[in-house]
Structures are given as structure tokens and as C-alpha cells.
Structure 1
Amino acid sequence: MNRDELLEKLHTFEWNDFECKRALREVPEDAYKTVSAFANTAGGWLVFGVQEKNGKLEILGVEEVDRVQNNFLSTLRSGQKLNRVIQVQEKKYEVEGKHLLAFYIPESPRQEKPIYLRGDPRQSYIRRGAGDEQCTQSELERFLRDAALQRYDNEPVPEITVDRCFDEETVRWYQDQFFRRNPEQEEISDPIEFLLNWNYIVEQDNRMLPTRAGVLLFGKARYVRQLLPRPVLDYQRIDTTFELWSPEERWHDRYVFEENIFQTWRGLVARYMRIAEHPFSLDPDTLRRNDDPPDYVAFREAAINLLVHQDYGDHGRKASIKLFTDQTIFWNPGDAFSTEAELLDPTEKEVRNPSIIKAFRRIGLSDQAGTGIRSIYRNWHELGRMPPQIRNDKARKQFELVLFNKLLITERTLQFQRSLGVTLSAEQAEVLALAVEQKRITLTDIRGLVGGTYREAKAAADYLVQQQLLEMLDDTLFELPDDLKNRYEKLSSVETLAGSTTPEVTPKVTSGGIKLGPSWDQVGTKLGLSLDQMKLLTNFEGPHSITELMEWVERTNRTKFREQVLNPLIETRLVEMTIPDKPRSSKQKYRLTVKGRALQAQLIHGEDEK
């Protein structure tokens, strides 16, 4: 943190990773609570010489600089006030002629948490918002579980007997998958011997005991519930947008999975097949689609991530998948041990349930170590949609992944970018579109979008800063300038008043940059499509009724609309019915086919015509 960044934080008051203390001549006692909170959560800066007054931060300065600094550092390094030695990064600043001391408290490793005061684990703190909160008993137990040398999923379960607890069908299914995937392995037909060989059964004191992973993965439902007195997964389909939904509203389809993890996975795939954008069939041996399209890969990796990484020792919270019309939310009890930036690195990560994860990888149901999150981002990017969002809450120890059903590059953003008069590469155009949507973006956001290294993400951001299309707030944070925000808002309001988002000329994003493509009527003529058909194709986002489609092109005669616009799109397999066996159903809706989505991407993103 440099001086300018410090001043920026002081002007924006306290953040969740930034805390100020008065500390004129002595170290305040509550500073050590903040140290505990930062070390137990995601780290942060503690600044001495600043106090809060009337809702604002006032710079007082530290009068006894050497005394305060030496006392604070020696206490942290002595291991007396806190249960662990805390190594911090210290800096001195001079602001308004006054001295400030800043200390960066890093997040402690999993094995060292919780960090607590006075030898009492109950005096552990976490950072939540801009405050330090004492851990509850449940939160403390989560820390202790994650810190254990023997991982929770690998512990034996002496109260459950081996000869009764396993579901034979699940074990046979897994053996078939395993030996088909690993033909070089010596085949072991006996289920008990097989599980013993892979450490899902362990020998202890002349007894064979199932491990927690063994029961959770392969156990009969009643033994799974004995070990885990809450559901493995709560699946909900909610046919409305996230913004319009309230928890009091009833879901439209729900299933609470309380069987073993592999049965849960197979049941989840069956339910996903019902609501997939396009019907598909699976290879029964691998549970993979033969073509592995991007939407299924992203869902598969996100769902498996949910099943293998959750905290199965947390009996008070259950994992959930909520499918809204505009987004899908995967929520997990248990945070990722890595940071959000580290999750995008192609390296092996420390995981909570290594035995459970290995079981999935041995049969090819999860990408290789360290690539799952990257695969989700990459495949979602192929669909042209807004990048996924990760919320790794280390204070609450929970993890959330959101997949948005919204295009990143829309007609409106293309029109906005065209008005800037700057040539952008495809990646630069996407970064700017993300900044337009989110107002502020980080280098991690950019990496998730373009799938590159920090250097490549920084190069894209630097170019946009040079072109005055982004403002740099600090080394990793960027914002859309106010004048561009106003320009985009004005453009949006004009289009809303006009009642149409169809420009006369469609901008085209290519690998070489933003260029003006042919007008819609020219493209339509070349493809054999009318202007109304082109307008429908570019507006499709999900299943729509015929009434909605007619409104888009301002048609009132349903018969002529079918004959002239809709039926030709169905006949050319660009659009399909959601209920094809009942063409006249009152619930009938229409959606793009794979071919239609490919053409839509070409029209919107300006890919080379195929």
C-alpha cells in the first residue's frame, strides 16, 4: 500500500481489510482483536494514528512512533498475547505533517487457525464488514476441523460396520467406471477389497472400519444420514429472475438429496437434463455428453465442485443449487483455502476433502487438479456470457459461485464502444464491456474474463487506461470514468425512450478490433433472413412465448407471424419448440437451437460467418 492508496482508503472510511486505531502513545488493547480477525479471515491493514470522529476518519498522528511500533511488533513476534507468532509488514507514512504507522496482517495458514488471545480459543475473532466479531462456537469448530492434521473425510467411523453400510449398486457402478477408465489397474471384483485397496476402508486394531469419505461416497442412505444429519444437496428450480424472487415464494421444482454423494450426482444430472437449454443424451458409462458443450461442462464442474469441497462436518448448513431464469447460484458451506486470484492459477490447490476429490478424479468426473474453476470460466466465456462470480467468504466460511445467463457483449455495449472512436482488440472490448457492467473491476476479474496471466490482464487494463477508457484506482483496481458512465447512461435512456435497441449498422468485434460491419438488411439478405428474423435471433436469451416474440418485431397478426417469421426459423433449425410433441400447447415456448445460438454469437460478437 503506497501513500496515495492509504489516502484513498482514509477518504472512503474503513473497509473489510482496513482498520484504524488512535494509538497516540500506546498500542490500544483492541488492536489485537483486529490482528486475530485479519489473521483468521483474509488479511488486512491496521493503521495507527487515525481516529473516528462524527462518522469520519480524523488524522491525529502517532506521537511516540518508535515506542508504539516496537511494542506492537515485539508483542506479535513473542507469541505471548496471541497463540501464534504473527509476521507482519510494517510501513511509516507522513500525512499532513503527522506520522502514521501501517501494519499488514496476512491471513494465517489453515493449519494455524484460529488465532486467538490470552490462550483462550473462545477469544478468536473474524473480520466481517468493517468490524471485528468474536467467533461463535460453530465458527470455532469449523476452524478446528479445517486445521486438523488428519483430514475430516479420511477419519475412520468406528460406530458403523463395514459389512452393512455400503450400497452395493453404487460400489458396482463405481467399479465399472473405474476399471473402464483405468484398464491398467488390476481388477478387484470384491467390493470390500476394492474399497480397502483405495483407503475407503481402513484397518485399525484388527478391525476394518469405513472412513467418512467411504460412507459419504458409497454408503446406504440411512448410514449417510447417520453420519450427516442434514442433506447433501438442496436443488431448487425457480422460474423467475433473482431480483424478482423472495425467499417466501415457492420454488417450481425441488429435490433434497439425502443419499450418498455419487447417487446425488447421478440424480442431479438427471434433473439437469430436464431443464437444459437443448435436450441431450449422456454416455451411460461416463455420465458425459459426447460433445461436452460449454454449458454442460460449466454446470458439471460447478456442481462437482459443490459436492467435493463442502464442509461435511458442518451439520447446520446445507449446500444448495438455485436455478433462476437469469442466473444459477451454487452455494457451499465451507470456504476455499485459496484466494480468488489463486483459484484461477493452473496449480494444485489445498483442498478440504482429498479422499472425496480423488474418487471423482479416478473416474474422470472432474478436471485435473487446479483446473476446475478455470474450466468453468473458460466454457462460460465460450457462450459469450458475463463471467462467473465467486464469493469466497472466509469470515463465514462459505463459498458461492454464480453463473449469469446474460450476454457480455450486447448491442448496446457495442454501440457505446463504437461511439468512443477507439480501435480495441476482442479482449480489450470484453474488458471494457465488463467495466461498463460492473463499474469497478480488478485484475482478477480481467484474468477470469480473458483466461490469461496477470501480465496479460495488466496489459489489457493498461491500454484502456492509456486510452482514458479506464481509471486506475490502485495497482489492481480499475473504474469506468464518470464521463463514460454518463455517456452510457444517456445512451441507455435514449434507447429506452426509442423503444428499440436495433441500430442501423451493427458494430463488429473481431480479433483485429471493433469495426463497422454490414447493415442488418445486408447480412439478412446474405443469410436468407428477413430483418424481423434477424431481430428475433439477436434478442433470444431463453425460452420465450409467441406473444413475446411478436412484441419484439411489433407484429399483431399471429398467423402471418408464424408463416413469415417463426416457421422458417424452425424449419431451418435455428429455433425449436420447448414442447415439440404438442405444437399447439398453451405452455409452448420457443428457444434457439445450438445452430441458432452459434449464429446469434456471430451476429452479436461479429465472428467470421460460417
Structure 2
Amino acid sequence: MNRDELLEKLHTFEWNDFECKKASREVPEDAYKTVSAFANTAGGWLVFGVQERNRRLEIAGVEEVDRIQNNFLSTLRSGQKLNRIIQVQEKKYEIEGKHLLAFYIPESPRNEKPIYLKGDPRQSYIRRGAGDEQCTQSELERFLRDASLLRYDSEPASEIPVDSFFDENTVRWYQAQFFRRNPEHDEIEDPIEFLLNWNYIIEQDKHMLPTRAGVLLFGKGRYVRQLLPRPVLDYQRIDTSFEQWSPEERWHDRYVFEENIFQTWRGLVARYMRIAEHPFSLDPDTFRRIDDPPDYIAFREAAINLLVHQDYGDHSRKASIKLFTDRTIFWNPGDAFATEAELLDPTEKELRNPSIIKAFRRIGLSDQAGTGIRAIYRNWHELGRVPPKIHNDKARKQFELILFKKPLITEKMLQFQHSLGVTLSAEQAEVMALAVEQKRITLTDIRGLVGGNFREAKAAADYLVHQQLLEMLDDTLFKLPDDLINRYDNLTPAAVQAGSKTLKVTTEVTTEVTPEVTAVGTKLGPSWDQVGTKLGLSLDQMKLLTNFEGPHSITELMEWVGRTNRTKFREEILNPLLETRLVEMTIPDKPRSSKQKYRLTEKGRELQAQLSHGDDQK
């Protein structure tokens, strides 16, 4: 935190990552409660030399700077006041001729929590809003459960009989999936031998015992409920928008799953398929029908994430999925050990339930190397919708994922961006749209939207700041300028309708297609409309069209848009461009030729010109 960032925070108010103390002559005793709270939650800045007066933060200054800093740091590093040594980052500032001390308290590792005072675990604190709250007994138990070296799901369930706990149909179903996907393994028909082989039954003191994961994944209903005296999942379909709904209103379809996890998964998919949209297409390689709903990848990954990562030791709260007309909310007891930014990294994450997750992975139902969240964001991006929202609440130890059924680029947004007179890439235009939607965005928000790394996200944000379309609040936080907020809010429906007439893309398949994503000013960039009888351009298709300069191989085209699955690339990106005669093969009579390449048709070149020179191509 630099000086300008500190001044910005002082003009706002204390919140979950920012706390101020007067501390002019002594370190206040309640400062250590804040240290405990920050360390147990998500970290934060503790500033000495600032007092609150009339609900405003005022600089009072620290009078004995060196003594207070040394006393505070030595206490944190002694391990006497707190049960763990706390390594902090300290800074000094001079503002208005007064001295301030700032200390960044990092979040402690999972296995070191809870951080507590005076040797008493009951004096553990968490950060909620602008306050430090003492942990309840349930909250303390959650910390202790997560801190255990032996994961909850791998421990034996000694009170449940090993020879009769499992549901035979579930085990048979799983074996069929497993051996189909892993033909190199010798088939083990006996259910007990199979579960023993994969450590869902273990040998202990010459006795065989089911593990908790074994019961939760494969158990009969009565044994699942004996181990878990609350539902695995509460599924609710609510046929109204989230804003119009109140908890007192009745749901339109509800099922409380109290079976084992795999039965829950199969039942959940069956319910989802009843209400999902089913487009029809053929795989160009196998000619098999493809009818997965367009949002199935996101739903699958979000639902499996909910089933494999929840805290099954928490018997007071149940996981839930609420399907509204405008969004779907996945809520889980148990926070993610990673940060929201780390969840977007394609790396292995620390797991709460490794045995449960491995069972899903062995049959191809869970992400590898931590790619599940990225797959959700990618699927939603391809659909042209407002990006998902994650709330990883480390204070309440809960996780929420929201999938919005709202297009990111509307006609109003398209007309607004067209009015700015600035040339933006498709990614920059999307970032701009998200800033309009949220008013404030972080680099993590941008990264989730464009699918890149922090460097690429920062480059997009920096360009928008340079064009005065975003204001930089700190190194990772940006806001939409007030004048642009007013300009967007004051766009009238008549102006939007009039402006949209000049922003049409016409193809032979449809008489008129309205692009739903724009690059601002002289560039247009349509996004995902449904591929099939209603043709639109996805962002990946736009990238191909705007970058074509000559014949290119399918490998080159896939690299441009970061795709690795050739079949899906053909189905979702390339084939629609071929069908609409925007792209053609160089060897059309040998479509499977190893020398096959692709180039723009005359119509494709015309559209490329229109995409590149929007206002000039009328």
C-alpha cells in the first residue's frame, strides 16, 4: 500500500481488510484482536495514528513511532501474546506532518489456524465487515477441522459395518464408469475388494473399516444419514428473478438429496436436463448427435465443485443450488483454501476432501490440475454472459458461486461503447462492459473475463486508464468515471434503438443478426449467439475473422484462440464459419487431407473489413 492508496482508504471507511487505531503513545490491547481476525480471515492492513470522529477517519499521528513499532512487532514475533508467530509487513508514512504506521497482517496457512490470544482457542477472532468478532463454538470447530493433518474424509467410520454399508447399484455403476475410462486396470468385480483397493475401505488393527469418503460416496441411505445428519444438497427451482424473490415465497420444484454423493450427482443431472435447453448438432468426425445444453459445462463443474469441496463435518449447514430465472446460485458450507485469484490458476489446489475428489477424477467427472473454475468462466464467456461471481467468505467459512443469465453486451451497451469514439479490442470492450455493469472491477475480475494471466489483464486495464475510460484506485482496483456512468444511465431507449440499426451483421443463414459484443468506435465484435439455425459470432470466431491474412492450418487457428480440443473447436468455432461460407477449405474435395488449410471467402473478407472499419463500411 503506497501513500496515495492509504489516502484513498482514509477517505472511505474501515472495512474487512482495513482497520485503524489511534495508538498515539501505546499499542492498544484490541489491536491484537484485529491481528487474530485478519490472520484467521483473508488478511488486511492495520494502521496506527488514525482515529474515528463523527464517523470519519482523521489523522492523529503516532507520537513515539520507534517505540510503538518495535513493541508491536516484537510482540507479534515472540509467540507470547498470540499462539503463532505473525510475520507482518510494516510501513511508515508522514502525512500532514504527522507519522502513521501501517502493518499488513497476512492470512495464516490453513494448518496454523485459528490464531488466538492468551493461549485460549476461545479467544479466536474473525473479520466481518469493519468489526472483529469472537468465534462461536461452531466456527472454532470448523477451523480445527480444516487444520487437521488427517483429512476428514479419509478417517474411518468405525461405527458403520463394512460388509453391508455400500449400495450395490452405486458401486456397480461406478465400476462400469471406472473400467470404461481406465481399461488398463484389472477388473475387480467384488465390491468390497474394489473399495479396499482404492482405500474407501481400510485395514486397521486387523479389522476392515469403511472410510467416511466410502460411506458418503457409495453408502446406503441410512448409513449416509447416520454419518451426515443433514442433507447432502438442497435443490430448489424458483421461477422468478432473484430480486423479486423473498425467502417466504414457495419454490416451484424442490428436492432434498439425502442419498450418497454419486446418487445425488445422478439425480441432480436428471433434474437439470429436464429444464435445460437442448440444441441439436452432429459431431463432424463421428456423426454422433451432440445435444449437451450450451451451459452444461459450467453447471457440471459448479455442481461437482459443490459436492466434492463442501465441509461434510459441518452438520449445521447444508449445501444448496437455487435456480432463479436470471441466475443460479451454488452455496457451500466450507470456504476454498485458495484465494479467488488463485482459483483462476491452472494449478493443483489444497483440498478439503482429497479422497472424494479422487473418486470423481477417476471417472472423468472432476477437473484436473485445478481447471474447474476456469472451465466455468470459459463456458460463460463463450455464451456472452456477465461473468460468474465468487464469494469465498473465509470468516463464515462458506463459498458461493453465482452464474448470471444476463448478456454482457446488450444493445444499450453496444450503443454506449459506439458513442465513445475510442478503438478497443474485443477483450478491452468486454472489460469496459464489465466496468459499466459493476462500477468497480479488480484485476481478478478482468482475468476471469478475458481468461488471461495477470500481465494480460493489467495491460487491458492500463489501456482503458490511458484512454480515460477507467480510473485507477490502486494497483488492482479500477472504477468507471462518474461522467461515463451518467452517460450510460442517460441513454434513452429511442437512442439505443436508432443506434442499433447501424450495427447489424448480415449472413446468408439469417436475414439479420444483431452482434452482442462490440469493440468501441470503428471496430465491431459480435459475441456468442447460438450456433445452429441462429448464427452469431463468438469472440473466438471474431478473433479468427479479424486475424485471417492467408491460408492457415487448423492447428494455427486453434492456437489463436487458445483451444486444445480439436473436435470442440470444429463444432463450436470452425464449422459454423464454413457453413455460413465465411471461411472455406483450400482442398474442399479432400476435407480430411493432412495438408488442409482454411482461408476467408469473399464474403468473409467483406465481413472482416466491416469488423475492422465499422463506420466506414455501410
TM-score (norm 2): 0.82
Matching residue of 1:349? 349
Contact 1:278 1:594 in 2 (8 A): no
Letter of the 1:476 partner, please give it: T
User: Deviation of residue 58 (structure 1)?
Assistant: 1.4
User: Deviation of residue 45 (structure 1)?
Assistant: 0.3
Matching residue of 2:526? none
SS state at 2:268 partner: helix
Mapped to 2, the partners of 1:471 and 1:355 lie a distance apart of 46
Mapped to 1, the partners of 2:187 and 2:68 lie a distance apart of 67
Mapped to 1, the partners of 2:500 and 2:437 lie a distance apart of 24
Mapped to 2, the partners of 1:386 and 1:593 lie a distance apart of 16
Measured against aligned partners, the alpha-carbon deviations of 1:469-502 in whole angstroms (never above 9, x if no partner) come to: 11111110111111111111111xx21xx39736
Q: State which drifts further: 365-374 or 120-129.
A: 365-374
Matching residue of 2:551? none
Q: 1:63-462 alignment to 2 at 5 Å?
A: 63-278=63-278, 290=290, 294-462=294-462
Mapped to 1, the partners of 2:502 and 2:177 lie a distance apart of 49
Mapped to 2, the partners of 1:504 and 1:606 lie a distance apart of 22
Mapped to 2, the partners of 1:115 and 1:593 lie a distance apart of 51
User: Deviation of residue 409 (structure 1)?
Assistant: 1.2
SS state at 2:296 partner: helix
User: Deviation of residue 505 (structure 1)?
Assistant: 3.2
Q: 1:439-588 alignment to 2 at 5 Å?
A: 439-491=439-491, 494-495=492-493, 498=494, 501=497, 503-507=499-503, 519=504, 523=506, 526-527=508-509, 529=511
SS state at 2:532 partner: helix
SS state at 1:595 partner: coil
Measured against aligned partners, the alpha-carbon deviations of 1:331-359 in whole angstroms (never above 9, x if no partner) come to: 00000000000000111000100000000
Mapped to 2, the partners of 1:504 and 1:207 lie a distance apart of 73
Contact 1:601 1:607 in 2 (8 A): no
SS state at 2:117 partner: coil
User: Deviation of residue 279 (structure 1)?
Assistant: 6.6
Q: State which drifts further: 32-41 or 180-189.
A: 180-189
User: Deviation of residue 38 (structure 1)?
Assistant: 0.1
Mapped to 1, the partners of 2:53 and 2:462 lie a distance apart of 38
Contact 1:49 1:61 in 2 (8 A): yes
Letter of the 2:406 partner, please give it: K
CA-atom RMSD, angstroms? 2.3
User: Deviation of residue 527 (structure 1)?
Assistant: 4.7
Mapped to 1, the partners of 2:23 and 2:535 lie a distance apart of 62
Letter of the 1:243 partner, please give it: E
Contact 1:294 1:382 in 2 (8 A): no
> CA distance change for structure 1 residues 142 and 490 in 2, over 3 Å: closer, same or farther?
same
User: Deviation of residue 187 (structure 1)?
Assistant: 1.4
Measured against aligned partners, the alpha-carbon deviations of 1:187-234 in whole angstroms (never above 9, x if no partner) come to: 111111111111101111111000000000000000000000000000
Letter of the 2:366 partner, please give it: S
Letter of the 1:374 partner, please give it: R
User: Deviation of residue 503 (structure 1)?
Assistant: 3.0
SS state at 1:350 partner: coil
Matching residue of 1:28? 28
Letter of the 1:189 partner, please give it: E
Letter of the 2:203 partner, please give it: E
User: Deviation of residue 595 (structure 1)?
Assistant: 2.1
Contact 1:273 1:279 in 2 (8 A): no
SS state at 2:390 partner: strand
Letter of the 1:599 partner, please give it: G
Measured against aligned partners, the alpha-carbon deviations of 1:254-302 in whole angstroms (never above 9, x if no partner) come to: 0000000000000001001101022789xxxxxx995656410110000
Mapped to 2, the partners of 1:350 and 1:367 lie a distance apart of 14
Contact 1:151 1:352 in 2 (8 A): yes
SS state at 1:186 partner: coil
Mapped to 1, the partners of 2:534 and 2:49 lie a distance apart of 58
Letter of the 1:173 partner, please give it: W
> CA distance change for structure 1 residues 101 and 40 in 2, over 3 Å: closer, same or farther?
same
Matching residue of 1:58? 58
Mapped to 2, the partners of 1:109 and 1:593 lie a distance apart of 44
User: Deviation of residue 367 (structure 1)?
Assistant: 2.0
Letter of the 2:16 partner, please give it: N
User: Deviation of residue 597 (structure 1)?
Assistant: 5.4
Mapped to 1, the partners of 2:253 and 2:537 lie a distance apart of 30
Mapped to 2, the partners of 1:504 and 1:59 lie a distance apart of 52
SS state at 1:243 partner: coil
Q: Which runs of 5+ in 2 are unaligned?
A: 282-287, 518-528, 546-576, 581-618
Matching residue of 1:48? 48
Contact 1:196 1:202 in 2 (8 A): yes
Contact 1:273 1:280 in 2 (8 A): no
- Stretches of 4+ moved more than 6 A in 1? 604-607
Letter of the 2:232 partner, please give it: V
Contact 2:322 2:328 in 1 (8 A): yes
> CA distance change for structure 1 residues 28 and 380 in 2, over 3 Å: closer, same or farther?
same
> CA distance change for structure 1 residues 606 and 249 in 2, over 3 Å: closer, same or farther?
farther
Identity score, percent: 82
Mapped to 1, the partners of 2:188 and 2:278 lie a distance apart of 39
> CA distance change for structure 1 residues 156 and 479 in 2, over 3 Å: closer, same or farther?
same
Mapped to 2, the partners of 1:430 and 1:154 lie a distance apart of 44
> CA distance change for structure 1 residues 279 and 424 in 2, over 3 Å: closer, same or farther?
closer
SS state at 1:355 partner: helix
Mapped to 1, the partners of 2:289 and 2:374 lie a distance apart of 20
Q: Which runs of 5+ in 1 are unaligned?
A: 282-287, 508-518, 540-591
Letter of the 2:113 partner, please give it: K
Mapped to 1, the partners of 2:449 and 2:83 lie a distance apart of 41
Mapped to 1, the partners of 2:366 and 2:534 lie a distance apart of 27
Contact 1:25 1:63 in 2 (8 A): yes
Measured against aligned partners, the alpha-carbon deviations of 1:118-154 in whole angstroms (never above 9, x if no partner) come to: 0000000000000000000000000000000100000
Mapped to 2, the partners of 1:593 and 1:450 lie a distance apart of 20
Matching residue of 1:284? none
Contact 1:411 1:502 in 2 (8 A): no
Measured against aligned partners, the alpha-carbon deviations of 1:435-493 in whole angstroms (never above 9, x if no partner) come to: 011111000000000000000000111111111111111110111111111111111xx
Mapped to 2, the partners of 1:606 and 1:407 lie a distance apart of 19
> CA distance change for structure 1 residues 289 and 474 in 2, over 3 Å: closer, same or farther?
farther
User: Deviation of residue 186 (structure 1)?
Assistant: 1.7
Letter of the 1:37 partner, please give it: A
SS state at 2:499 partner: coil
Mapped to 1, the partners of 2:150 and 2:24 lie a distance apart of 45
Contact 2:278 2:291 in 1 (8 A): no
Matching residue of 1:581? none
> CA distance change for structure 1 residues 527 and 186 in 2, over 3 Å: closer, same or farther?
closer
Mapped to 1, the partners of 2:510 and 2:485 lie a distance apart of 38
Mapped to 1, the partners of 2:544 and 2:326 lie a distance apart of 25
Matching residue of 1:599? 536
User: Deviation of residue 394 (structure 1)?
Assistant: 0.3
> CA distance change for structure 1 residues 538 and 60 in 2, over 3 Å: closer, same or farther?
closer
> CA distance change for structure 1 residues 538 and 330 in 2, over 3 Å: closer, same or farther?
same
User: Deviation of residue 178 (structure 1)?
Assistant: 0.7
